[in-house]
Amino acid sequence: MAENRFDFDGKPDIAWCPGCGDFSIRQALLSALEELGIERGKLVMVSGIGQAAKMPQYVNSSFFNGLHGRALPVAIAVKAVAPDLTVIAEGGDGDMYGEGGNHFLHAARRNPNVKLFVHDNMVYGLTKGQAAPTSREGMRTPVQVDGVISAPLNPVALAIAMNVGFVARAFSGDVEGTKAIMKRAILHEGFALVDIFQPCVSFNRQNTFQWFKANTRALEPEYRADDRAAAFSRALEEEPFPLGLLYESGGRPVFEDRLSVYREDKRPLRERRHDMSMLRAVMLERRIP
């Protein structure tokens, strides 16, 4: 992939375990960005902490790597001040659904034109194998030695319940399918979730590549993704989990389009000059004696 503008010259130093599903997700992402013809200077990737959250460091573009679970607020802020940019938030299931679960809920409410790609390996990989929000009941870990007793989070059902306008599930073992879904998500006008099943070869010996392959199946070609009730029903299906675009709808106002700063002036905030004397005057006026 040396010819891809979003790849680095030579071989990047990638700190993922050999056989990790993140490699396939990176391949799909780089191909999706290239095929869409996105300008490298017009892409910003945002992530928190974790193995999946290292992705922006392996993509040749601008990125912000912040705190665990805090990628979405930063991504929404970037999009708000620069609506002309393509903004992708990327991380793992623990990062986005655990520590970042509250931000996920409120991003769904706001509907920013931000794309959320979640590497769902059903375990905390960076911190050596604790149960994650999507871990299956009964899974044994170094911490949950008697098996996980909490019900797993269903992120796609939750997203559809929150009326997220684009909800899809992919599998890292299908690079072409993952790439196609990523492209559609990026083109969608509004918040988009792509939950990507990804084997963790070091700390999850239950949900392996073979397990995901045996317990997933593609949605039928005739399936229609515009029926929200039907999509919610399909999102509840498990083992096999349906793969593909579960739900897509338009018409919801996009967060940044509703901001008052763009009502009369469509220029991104980052391109505007600000009168600092006016700001100082306001601060002095409101200063507490």
CA distances from residue 211 to 19, 21, 43 in whole angstroms, order as listed: 15, 13, 34
- The residues, ordered by sequence, that sit 6+ positions from 85 with a Cβ below 8 Å of its Cβ are 42, 43, 44, 78, 79
pLDDT at position 48 = 94
Please write the tens of the pLDDT for every residue from 36-63. 999 999 999 999 999 999 999 999 999 9
pLDDT at position 177 = 97
Structure tokens at 109: 């409410």
Please write the tens of the pLDDT for every residue from 228-237. 999 999 999 9
Please write the tens of the pLDDT for every residue from 106-160. 999 999 999 999 999 999 988 888 999 999 999 998 889 999 999 999 999 999 9
pLDDT at position 3 = 61
CA distances from residue 199 to 77, 100, 114, 120 in whole angstroms, order as listed: 31, 21, 25, 8
Per the DSSP assignment, residues forming a β-bridge with 105 are: none
pLDDT at position 1 = 43
Give the pLDDT mean for 216-224: 96
Note whether 193 and 156 are within 8 A (CB). Answer: yes
Average pLDDT, rounded, for the chain: 94
Residue % of the chain over a pLDDT of 90:
83
pLDDT-based confidence at residue 90 (cuts at 50, 70, 90): very high
Which domains, from first to last, does the chain contain?
22-254 (3.40.50.970)
Residue % of the chain over a pLDDT of 70:
99
- The residues, ordered by sequence, that sit 6+ positions from 100 with a Cβ below 8 Å of its Cβ are 48, 68, 69, 70, 71, 72, 91
Half-sphere exposure of 19 (CA within 13 A, CB side): 10
